[in-house]
Chains A and B, each alone.
Chain A
Amino acid sequence: MSASSLASTPAGGKSAGAGGSPPAPSAPPASVSTLNYLVRLLLLGVINAGVLVFGVTLINDGNAFLGGTIILTTLLLSVVLLRNALKPMRWMVPSLALVALLVVYPMFYTLYVSFTNYSDGHRHTKSEALALMAADKFLPEGAVSYEWNVYRREGAAEDDASAYALLLTDEAGGNFFAAQNTALETVPAGDPPEAFSGYLLLSGGDRFRALQVIQEMQFGPADAPIGIQSRSAAGEFQQRWVFDAARDVLMDRETGAEYPADNATGEFRAASGETAPLGFWVPTGFENYSRLFTSPVLRGPLVQVFGWTVMFAFFSVVTSFALGLGMALVMNKPFPGIRVVRSLLIIPYAIPGMISILIWRGMLNLNVGVINTTLENLFGWAPPWSVDPMWAKIAIIMVNLWLTYPYFMLICSGALQAIPTSIYEAAEVDGATAWEKFWKLTLPLLLVAVGPLLVASFTYNFNNYLLIEAMFQGGPPIPGTSAPPVGYTDNLISYTFRYAFAAGGTRDYGFASAIAVVIFLIVGALTLFQFRFTKRLEEIGENV
């Protein structure tokens, strides 16, 4: 006999009673409905317009992926809101939209990046890289570099850019006046004059404001224009890197060298093997994955690291669940001061994890930590936490226990309340001991509710980077390993993170994404397996 069959009886009876005459739907007055519909349309239109602008801005900024996701999400949102058939969906839409933006989008983006060479030196698209290199100027041989001062025609309109002129001073001290599209005019040597043929020398704020306008302008004769290179140099500077799109070749006009684009590797590479200053990112297929599977990471102590990762996740969940459950059981029966005790016990959960970890790290320090100095004073010995592999692992599990038991205490308290007392009464009639009641009734029924949370907690701890890195940075180190350095408490994520960002001295996002994808697959497989296991528990629950 189950609870659900009990509940269904009155419901069935009610529907049977009302079955003869279903109440007519009370249709609202048509005018209200139309107005409502119009308002709804208008609002949606406004939202969609805003999102469209936002999305298009993103796409224009080169972030097509995010822009597209946002536009698509909004489109789905509109469909759901406008179609009556999808009414039940409306309540889930906001959270679904956020899931799409904050979970699904990053996931696919990571997957996408893992198939590219996006990394330091390849951080830009081809056109961005070309635009950046186009800013590089050089002074051709024989051309003169001048110091410059900026002038402005007296009485010119405020937005008249043609009113600016430069006074150029060459190394010998010769002065030349350069208005726009006119030949240079020699000016007597010496300090720049305050005024020259209707132009006034700009200084202070006038000069600073002028800089924004004149930095891209050209002065002097139109056939040999003089541009400003920097605060102290102007001259016939020319663009150094010129891209010939037809031939897909980047030319260095200073040396005359040609750098054909290699669109497979994202480089401009000359025949000499030299590359242009900037590369660009391109899809590289499975390159990152093949690199991962042939990398020294897999030849390093991966078995050790993986074993500890699983062990850490497992023991973290088991210990904190056991302690949390113990506390919950103790507090299942009221006693004086229970509220205060319960509040106090939740505190570790309320303090930000990073702070707790740092405090623990300080307390466990071998030289000045309060725990170790106390133990040493009392017993003359204290565990060498950060030095000995075993004690380091114990310390980490201990700290994680401190951080997570309140969570399980809260969950278990709630779940214990949900177990009907009647079954305990029945068990007592059958003569069950307290021990038997716990193992045969409480725990299985509890696991029905808490099982999926245990799985989630395992998954979380499998990828727990913060604790591992903040406690001992993965240490103590394992001697005699090949690259990268690895410690006894390194887990999969801290180990590969260090590798992805230390190899070659640069950040390789493509490669790091490939690692993330592989870890995701491992965690996904483990989680799937565990959910199979918890399903079996649910069957137990259904039979109660």
Chain B
Amino acid sequence: MKRHLILLSVAVALVFGLLAVPALAQDRPDLLIWADRTRTPPLTELAAAFGEEFGVTVEVQEIAMGDIRANLSVVGPTGEGPDIIVAAHDWIGELVINGAVTPIDLGDAAEMFTPGSLSLFTYNGEIYGMPYAAENVAFFRNSELVPDAPATWDDVRAITEELVDGGAADYGYIIQTADFYHFHPILSAFGGYIFGTAGGGAYDPTDVGVDSEGAVAAATWLEGMAVDGFIPPAIDYDVMHTLFERGDAAMIVTGPWALPRIRESGVPYAISNIPAGPAGPGMPLIGGQGFMLSAYSENQLLAESFLLDYVATDEAMQALYDADPRPPAFIPTLEKLNDPDLAAFQAAGEVGIPQPSIPEMSSVWGSAQTAMQLVIQGDQPAADAFADAAEQIRTLIAGGEVETVRMTPAGDPPPADGPQSVSIPGTVNSAIGCGGDWDPACEDAQLAYVANSDVWMGTFLLPAGDYEYKVALDGAWTENYGGMADRDGPNVALSVAEEGAVMFVYDHKSHWVADSVNHVIASVPGNYQAAIGCAADWSPDCLRSWLQDPDGDGVYTLSVTLPAGDYEGKVAYNLSWDENYGADGARDGANLTFSVPAEGVVTFSFDPASHVLTIAVGG
């Protein structure tokens, strides 16, 4: 028994000892690099040569490409992390918000890299990595079946029809069923986009273009190919390549990473630019690999110097290229290569755009691929599938919170003598993102003061349902109103039949609160508006001329004091000219005219049922 105890102790000591040794070993190399499997062998050789020449120890650790990004933030703070990582450019967004990487100062060396590759690694105006490869897809065709490169996607369809109907091949052009990356060239050729660009060319995550007109056009083209049986479902990367390499499919879009297997297959191929569409050339997404500096590194200066003085040389870049032939970003190496295939990729990439590296991009892939799959399988019409995808993406980008979009921009500073904030507490609260209901202090339920209209407004996306609300001032219940401008009055019932935007407007002069479901939000734009404090005449969005109905009798009224003169006006709904009524309640009808003989009160009365506006001058 005792002997067992000792054995046990030894075993436990060994287990814990083994655990403890790596933690205690502070025998760090001067530089530690994390690289993936393909990049590790050439980098290890470079590191060994560097160490021998300069007496600085550089160690290369192999980490799976998919783990480098996540592990950096975990291991970095412990001081055991790398100084340099091999990275894909689209990790930048995530790494930067975690503070895990630090900008690199390329200095004079910047001229040695292709401008396109540098733009990939630029984020918020700073360069976060030294690129070494930049790549994009191009159009492959079986040069026996398709001797001439198609110029447009309509040509692609025509060639496909000819090949398939003529029995020359099973398939013409095929695409992976669920791969938005390979679909982007088509998307852009028809005018679609993923994210719009804001100033300076940076991607704007609030402008999702997956359901834009062009995107739907591209999806419709895809749908046409699928419905007619030219593009089959259940194609993944391997199936696509197998079909092409066997000669069963005549055209695919793929990248330089597939060159080795295509060459090996012996299929006759030619590479050309992406076909164009009605909106212009098909733009491939450009991606890149490079080296980034860890923010946790204690040796950033040495790491930077190692990259710029040793890796950014023709020999090192050539070694990296030989290990993994991707189009180099380093100009001297790129120019030396005499590979017509890579030149063809280069040419196709000239119209390419950087694959977005903003973190929001990770919300795009899943939904967009699902939409493609639904279209190709014929489960949903193209426009619906892509509209759903865009809606999903917007929801995910909004943090996955309840789909509530606050559409009112930040308001103007309210006048000092009135309330400093106005909100709509009620059962609407939780629907618009508040923690609980009936909370007058909830940030998400605040209306914004609009100085031009002298009212408080807010627009919220509400799911279908029955709600109640009131209006409360200054984030408290002290001063609150019901729907009849009645202080401490009863709750306002609000029944939303279909999910949609609901506008709330509160006028502190009359204490009336209206919503766009129970009421019409109507104003009387006219050439008198400047006289009552609006920024301009004829502005339907100036609610100083708001027609109100505090007594709930269905007649909306507005009283203004005007100087003598001849005036004109109309009724406009929802702050825009889209729905407006003129003389005799006619839609888009003629302006109503009225004269004010001497300065006095003018009262407008409006009946939404007949759309007739009555104007009473004086008294």
- Which of A47-55, A317-325, A517-525 is near enough to bind chain B? A47-55
Chain B residues with CB under 8 A of A77: 12
Cβ of A365 within 8 Å of any chain B Cβ, yes or no, is: yes
Does A291 sit at the interface, judged by CB under 8 A?
A: yes
A65 to chain B, nearest CB (A): 14
**B267 CB within 8 Å of chain A:** no
Question: In whole angstroms, what is the CA distance A90 to B1 when docked?
Answer: 11
With A46-B13, A365-B234, A502-B366 as given contacts, are A291 and B401 in contact (CB-CB < 8 Å)?
yes
Q: Which 8 A-B pairs have the closest CB atoms?
A: A232-B107, A503-B400, A205-B54, A230-B105, A483-B395, A505-B359, A483-B392, A215-B301
**What per-residue 1/0 map shows which CB atoms of A354-383 lie under 8 Å from chain B?**
000000001001111000000000000000
Chain B nearest CB, measured from A487 CB (Å): 8
Which of the 9-residue segments B209-217, B235-243, B573-581 touches chain A? B235-243
Are A135 and B19 in contact, CB atoms less than 8 angstroms apart?
no
Interface string of A240-253 (1 = CB under 8 A from B): 00000000000000
**When A54-B23, A296-B400, A502-B363 are in contact, do A480 and B388 touch as well, CB less than 8 Å?**
yes
Which of A46, A229, A232 sits near B108, CB closer than 8 Å?
A232
Indicate which residue in A93, A211, A232, A365 contacts B105 across the interface (CB closer than 8 Å). A232
Contacting residues, chain B, for A81 (C-beta < 8 A): 5, 8-9
The answer to whether B78 has its CB under 8 Å from any CB of chain A is: yes
Q: Smallest CB-CB separation from B77: which chain A residue? A: A128
Contact residue among A63, A368, A503 (Cβ-Cβ distance under 8 Å from B242): A368
A348 interface residue (CB < 8 Å to B) = no
User: How far is B392's CA from A436's CA once the two chains are assembled, in angstroms?
Assistant: 56
- Check if A368 sits within 8 Å of B239, measured CB to CB: yes
Q: Mark A406-449, 1 if CB is under 8 A from B, else 0.
A: 00000000000000000000000000000000000000000000
A295 touches B17 (CB 8 A): no
Would you call B500 an interface residue if the criterion is a C-beta within 8 Å of the partner chain's C-beta atoms?
Answer: no
Given contacts A54-B24, A277-B99, A367-B239, contact A211 B305 (CB under 8 A): yes
Q: Which residues in B have their C-beta under 8 angstroms from that of A208?
A: 54-56, 302, 305-306
Task: Tell me if A152 is interfacial: C-beta within 8 Å of chain B.
Answer: no
Contact B5 A485 (CB under 8 A): no
A47 touching B234, Cβ below 8 Å: no
**B79 in contact (CB, < 8 A):** yes
> Bound state CA distance, A502 and B306, in angstroms?
36
**What 0/1 pattern do residues 355 to 390 of B give for CB contact below 8 A with A?**
000111111001101100110010110001100110
Residues of B within 8 A of A368 (CB): 239, 242-243
B97 contacts the other chain (Cβ, under 8 Å)?
Answer: yes
Interchain CB contact under 8 A, A499 and B8: no
In the complex with contacts A47-B16, A133-B99, A498-B366, A295-B400 CB distance below 8 A: yes
Interface residue? A75 (CB, 8 A): no
The reply on B223 being an interface residue by CB < 8 A is no
Bound form: Cα–Cα A36–B9 in Å: 12
Instruction: Give the distance in Å from the alpha carbon of A54 to the alpha carbon of B13 in the complex.
Output: 12
Known A-B contacts A205-B53, A503-B400; the reply to A484 vs B392 at CB < 8 A is yes
Residues of B close to A121: CB separation below 8 A: 97-98
Per-residue CB contact flags for chain A residues 44-79 toward chain B (1 = under 8 Å, else 0) read: 101100110110011001110000000000100100
With A51-B20, A54-B16, A129-B99 known to touch, is A40 a contact of B400 (CB < 8 Å)? no
What is the interface of chain B, defined by CB distance below 8 A to chain A? 2, 5-6, 8-13, 16-17, 19-20, 23-24, 30, 53-56, 70, 73, 77-79, 93-94, 96-100, 102, 104-105, 107-108, 178, 205, 232-236, 238-239, 242-243, 295-296, 299-302, 304-306, 308-309, 358-363, 366-367, 369-370, 373-374, 377, 379-380, 384-385, 388-389, 391-393, 395-403, 430, 435
Contact partner of A482 (CB less than 8 A), chosen from B13, B308, B391, is: B391
Given contacts A296-B400, A483-B393, A485-B389, 8 further A-B contacts (CB under 8 A): A43-B13, A207-B305, A231-B107, A475-B370, A479-B384, A484-B366, A485-B370, A505-B358
Q: Within the complex, what minimum Cβ distance (angstroms) separates B204 from chain A? A: 13
Given the interface pairs A208-B56, A483-B395, A505-B361, the reply to whether A135 lies near B102 with Cβ below 8 Å is yes
Q: State in angstroms the CA–CA spacing of A329 and B232 once bound together.
A: 44
B370 to chain A, nearest CB (A): 4
Known: A94-B11, A484-B367. A123 touches B98 (CB 8 A): yes
Q: Judge if A501 is at the interface, Cβ distance under 8 Å.
A: yes
Tell me the chain A residues, 457-505 only, with Cβ under 8 Å from chain B.
473, 475-477, 479-485, 487, 498-499, 501-505
Q: Could you say which residues of chain B place their CB within 8 Å of the CB of A230? A: 104-105, 107, 301, 304
Would you call A204 an interface residue if the criterion is a C-beta within 8 Å of the partner chain's C-beta atoms? yes
Give the docked Cα–Cα distance between A296 and B391 (Å). Answer: 12
- Restricting to A85-120, which residues have a CB under 8 Å from any CB of B? 90, 93-94, 97, 120
A43 touches B6 (CB 8 A): yes
Do most interface residues of chain B lie in helix, strand or loop, or is the interface mixed?
helix
List residues of chain A with CB within 8 A of the CB of B77: 61-62, 124, 128
The CB with the most chain B CB atoms within 10 A, among A53, A81, A205, is that of A205
Are A50 and B6 neighbours in the complex by a CB distance under 8 Å?
Answer: no
Q: Is the CB of B20 within 8 A of A53?
A: yes
Residue of B232, B374, B403 with most chain A CB atoms under a 10 A cut-off: B374
Residues of A with C-beta under 8 A to B400: 291, 295-297, 483-484, 499, 503-504
Q: Please report the C-alpha to C-alpha distance between residue A298 and residue B299 in the assembled complex, in whole angstroms.
A: 48
List residues of chain A with CB within 8 A of the CB of B308.
231
Select the residue from B9, B104, B178, B296 with max chain A CB neighbours within 10 A. Answer: B9
Contact of A506 among B2, B17, B306, B359 (CB under 8 A): B359
- From 288 to 328 in chain A, residues with beta carbon under 8 angstroms from any chain B beta carbon are 290-291, 294-297
Set of chain A residues within 8 Å of B403, measured between Cβ atoms: 296, 482-483
Please, how many angstroms separate the alpha-carbon atoms of A296 and B388 in the complex?
14
A residues in contact with B373, CB < 8 Å: 475-477
Measured CA separation A290–B242 after assembly (Å): 48
The residue of chain A having its C-beta at the shortest distance from the C-beta of B240 within the complex is A367
Q: List 30 A-B contacts (CB under 8 A).
A: A36-B2, A47-B12, A54-B19, A54-B23, A57-B24, A81-B9, A132-B296, A135-B295, A209-B30, A215-B299, A294-B402, A365-B239, A366-B234, A386-B233, A477-B373, A477-B379, A479-B374, A479-B379, A479-B380, A479-B385, A481-B392, A484-B400, A485-B370, A487-B370, A501-B362, A502-B363, A503-B400, A504-B396, A504-B397, A504-B400
Q: How far is A49 from B20 in the complex, measured between Cα atoms in Å?
A: 11
CB-contact partner of B56 in A123, A133, A209, under 8 A = A209
Tell me how far the C-beta of A121 lies from the nearest C-beta in chain B, rounded to whole angstroms: 4
Instruction: Select one of A40, A97, A233, A498 contacting B6, CB under 8 A.
Output: A40
Q: Please report the C-alpha to C-alpha distance between residue A357 and residue B385 in the assembled complex, in whole angstroms.
A: 29
In contact, A211 and B302 (Cβ under 8 angstroms): yes
Q: How far is the CA of A366 from the CA of B242 in the complex (A)?
A: 13
Chain B neighbourhood of A207, CB < 8 A: 305
Structural contact, A482 and B392, CB atoms closer than 8 A: yes
Q: How far is the CB of B350 from chain A (nearest CB, A)?
A: 29
List the B side residues contacting A58 at CB < 8 Å.
23
Chain A, 194-216, CB within 8 A of any chain B CB: 204-205, 207-209, 211-212, 214-215
- The answer to whether B391 and A483 touch across the interface, beta carbons within 8 angstroms, is yes
A39 at the interface (CB under 8 A from B): yes
B12 touches A211 (CB 8 A): no
Say yes or no for A387: interface residue by CB 8 A criterion.
yes
- Distance between Cα atoms of A507 and B98 in the complex (Å): 11
Considering only CB atoms, which chain A residue lies closest to B430 in the complex?
A294
Q: Say whether B367 contacts A61, CB under 8 Å.
A: no
B232 touches A367 (CB 8 A): yes
Max count, chain A CB within 10 A of own CB: residue among B94, B373, B388, B435:
B373
Contacts of A124 in B (CB 8 A): 77, 98-99
In the complex, what residue of chain A is closest to B394 when comparing beta carbons?
A483
A454 within 8 Å of B by Cβ? no
Closest to A124 in B: B77
Closest to B433 in A: A294
Chain A residues with CB below 8 A from B435, complex form: 290
CA gap between A521 and B575 in the complex, in Å: 51
Closest Cβ–Cβ distance, residue A202 to chain B (whole Å)? 11
Q: What separation, in Å, do the CA atoms of A33 and B174 have in the docked complex?
A: 80
Of A62, A504, A505, most B-chain CB atoms within 10 Å: A505
